[in-house]
Amino acid sequence: MDARGVGKVFGDDDDRVEALRGIDLQIEPGEFISLIGPSGCGKSTLLRLIGDLTAPTNGDLMVNGKPPPKARVDRDYGIVFQKATLLDWRTVARNVELPLEVMGIEARSERSRQMLELVQLAEFAGHYPWQLSGGMQQRVAIARALAFNPSLLLMDEPFGALDEMTRELMQQEVLRIWAETETTVVFVTHSIPEAVFLSTRVVVMSPRPGRISDIIVTGLDQPRDEDTREAHAFFDKVTEVREALRRQDRG
């Protein structure tokens, strides 16, 4: 993903809101990038621009060397939102199959089985979403987003509604899936420890209009586990990201 001078304005002269200004960001294949910043800084807007859910007002944005609409048509990315947004009347397996069904892809049941094995939910294929916990529902949503083998996974605060213990378990699950699939991940979060634990780089954004104020390389060893959370290097990076956010408050 390559963004150069990207900006986004909503509304007209009477109610104009500049959400993003001058975004320059290059993401290499296989990276895990977290976007963090104060509420309203444009993190989710940037994710939506990458995912072709809205269009930039200015600047150049390319996804896998293509404009976002072309990347969407070519199925280059999957998206996971804060809520799993599963269909209660479809089984877990058929929820995973849904994008494949829409795209007219054959062998849907086999691909669904593979994805549910990836997220370690194969035994729940015949269950319905309302029979699963919140964390399990999000794992189904991840399986669905990966079903058509995208090279880029966009995640918009997917664990924000989970309790702390489930959230930490889901973080490790996502890292395992990322390692197995080698998919590039762009992840929106408000949690500094989450951003540091997950990411190869943390992109710190300023208050509106959102700009990139810092990019911090975490440099933590892989694979990451509970020992990572207790390491001095982890706490040092959490402090570094927190200080980057505080510098914005001090102007």
Condensed to tens digits (0 to 9), the pLDDT of residues 35-70 reads: 999 999 999 999 999 999 999 999 999 999 999 999
Rounded to two decimals, the pTM is: 0.94
Helix, strand and coil content of the chain, in percent to the nearest 5, comes to: 40, 25, 35
Classify residue 81: in a domain, yes or no: no
Q: Are residue 216 and residue 172 in the same domain, yes or no?
A: yes
Residue 63 and residue 93 in one domain: no
Instruction: Give the domain range for residue 13.
Output: 2-76+151-249
Q: Which of 106, 126, 149 is the last residue of a domain?
A: 149
d(CA 72, CA 53): 10
Based on the fold, state whether residues 142 and 177 are members of the same structural domain.
no
For residues 138-142, give the mean pLDDT: 96
Average pLDDT, integer, range 202-231: 95
**Rounded mean pLDDT of the chain?**
94
239 shares a domain with 165: yes
> Is residue 102 very low, low, confident or very high in pLDDT (cuts 50, 70, 90)?
confident
Whether residue 167 is contained in a domain is answered as yes
With 90 as the cut, is the pLDDT of residue 107 above it? no
**Residues 65, 82: Cα–Cα separation, whole Å:** 28
Q: What is the pLDDT of residue 229?
A: 96
94 in a structural domain = yes
The domain boundary, picked from 102, 125, 149, lies at 149
* 176 and 60 together in one domain: yes
56 and 15 within one domain: yes
Q: What is the pLDDT of residue 27?
A: 97
- Whether the per-residue pLDDT at 92 is higher than 90: the answer is yes
pLDDT band at 247; cut points 50, 70, 90:
confident
Domain membership flag for residue 186: yes
Residue 200 covered by a domain: yes
Confidence of residue 249 (pLDDT cuts 50, 70, 90): low
For 145-198, how does the pLDDT look when each residue is reduced to its tens digit (9 = 90+)? 999 899 999 999 999 889 999 999 999 999 999 999 999 999 999 999 999 999
What CA–CA distances, in Å, run from 44 to 11, 76, 123, 147, 186?
A: 17, 19, 33, 23, 11
Average pLDDT over residues 63-83: 91
The Cα–Cα gap between 159 and 22 comes to 29
Tell whether 181 is covered by a domain: yes
Flag whether 204 is in a domain.
yes
Q: Is there a single domain that holds both residue 65 and residue 8?
A: yes
Q: Count CB neighbours of 11 within 10 A.
A: 10
Q: Do 161 and 191 reside in the same domain of the chain? A: yes
Q: For residues 172 and 221, state if they share a domain.
A: yes
Are residues 135 and 15 part of one domain?
no
Question: Do the Cβ atoms of 84 and 119 come closer than 8 Å?
Answer: no
SS3 of 35, please?
strand
* Model confidence at 250: pLDDT above 80: no
- CATH classification of the domain holding 237: 3.40.50.300
* Domain end point (choices 94, 127, 149): 149
Q: How many domains does the chain have?
A: 2
Paired with 114 in beta bridges are none
Q: What is the mean pLDDT of residues 74-83?
A: 91
Q: Do 71 and 166 belong together in one domain? A: yes
Would the pLDDT of 251 be above 60? no
161 and 202 both lie in a single domain: yes
